[in-house]
Amino acid sequence: MGGTNYPLQRYDLPIGKAPLFLRRGQDNRSGPAVLFIHGGSASGDTFLEPEGDSIFDFLNTVHKMDVWLLDWRGSHRVITSEPEPCNESADTVAEWDIPEALKFVRETRIKEGRSDRIAVVGHCMGAACLAMAVGAGYVRAEWGLGPVVLVGVGLFYEVTWDGWSKTQDRTLDRVADEDGTIPFVTPDVSVRAWPTVMEETYQMWPEVWGPPWSRQDNDFFHRLAFMYGQPFLVSNLHERMTREVIRTQFGAIPFKLYRHAAQNALRGFAAPFNAEGTLDPNTENEQIASELARRYVCLEAFSELKITLITGAENPLWHRESIDRMAEWLARGCRSATKHVLDGYGHQDLWWGKDSRRDVFPLVLDAVRCQPLSR
């Protein structure tokens, strides 16, 4: 795994038959706690690179925080080990994976004599699922939830034009119609070939829309960009984030989670998986959006939390408007979120950028600081 030189302890966190796990720094455990939640198809390794210059190193080693990493069912390390129980939508992640991880961290800290709140940082689909968990009341301040940091996206979804064109084409719905048993999709087709619909669409996708690396030599990265949009700005990567290192950072994503993300991107906001199919046929047209949004888009649930929103101004995966809309919505509750839109940054390079330690990490440090929670 990434960051192998860091002293980490692993805790298995099986939820049903899904083999989720947590990793925790072995040093500085008496410091304030922060839980990191990676994006879909990635893993907790996101926060361990570049080794020696990562957000984990910055918070755990330098600032003496108790840092935890959750590998939830969207982790390529989890989904490929037990595909069937991991093939769930974001609803399951929001209701089970994140609350159970927070509960485990909280109870472990209490046993060790610490009862302060747990800050949580979500990235990409990890942030989307975290926002859903907060909105639905699955995690709350009174249950130990501290500051919340959403990176790239929250409850509102805006994709770049390339992603929008593929979403409008409903490729994943057509894949589901072709074969509803697919457990996961991966840019590594040597592990699992793509469904015919996806493969045919990909073959028509212009090479120039992928990363500035040869498609012939790096088909993996072009497929990755096709699936999500380009996940990082190559021009902004730290020198240690080579193609070989980044290649280990991505893999499979549960098919239902992937479809759910596409459905929400098409709606523009978070709603349950296949929510339209559960609507009362008598629902008035003007009420459809509010009915779909009812479970997760709940302003009151965010009112007592310290919320920080971070994205790159040039994010080629989630358009920066995803964060702008989240900030504007939170401001309606009379408590504005702190928003940072960073020039020269895209998406994953917020963690892996050549100057992330200077530009991004101090913002995260300030965001996760919180007041003690009384017993």
pLDDT in the model for residue 217: 67
Q: Is the peptide bond before 362 cis (omega within 30 degrees of 0)?
A: no
**pLDDT of 358 above 60:** yes
> Average pLDDT over the chain, rounded to whole?
93
Neighbours of 136 (CB within 10 A): 20
Q: Is pTM, for the whole model, over 0.75?
A: yes
* d(C-alpha 106, C-alpha 109), whole Å: 5
What are the structural domains, with CATH classification, of the chain? 8-368 (3.40.50.1820)
pLDDT in the model for residue 227: 94
pLDDT in the model for residue 29: 94
- pLDDT, one tens digit per residue, over 275-321 is 999 998 889 999 999 999 999 999 999 998 999 999 999 999 999 99
The proportion of the chain whose per-residue pLDDT surpasses 90, expressed as a percent, equals 83
**pLDDT of 1 above 60:** no
For the chain, the 3-state helix, strand and coil shares in percent, each to the nearest 5, are 40, 15, 40
pLDDT in the model for residue 169: 78
**pLDDT of 372 above 60:** no
DSSP 44-96: GGGGG-STTSSHHIIIIIIS--EEEEEE-TTSHHHHTTSHHHH---HHHIIII
pLDDT in the model for residue 373: 40
Q: Pick the residue with more confidence: 226 or 336?
A: 226
pLDDT in the model for residue 374: 40
- pLDDT, one tens digit per residue, over 23-76 is 999 999 999 999 999 999 999 999 999 999 999 999 999 999 999 999 999 999
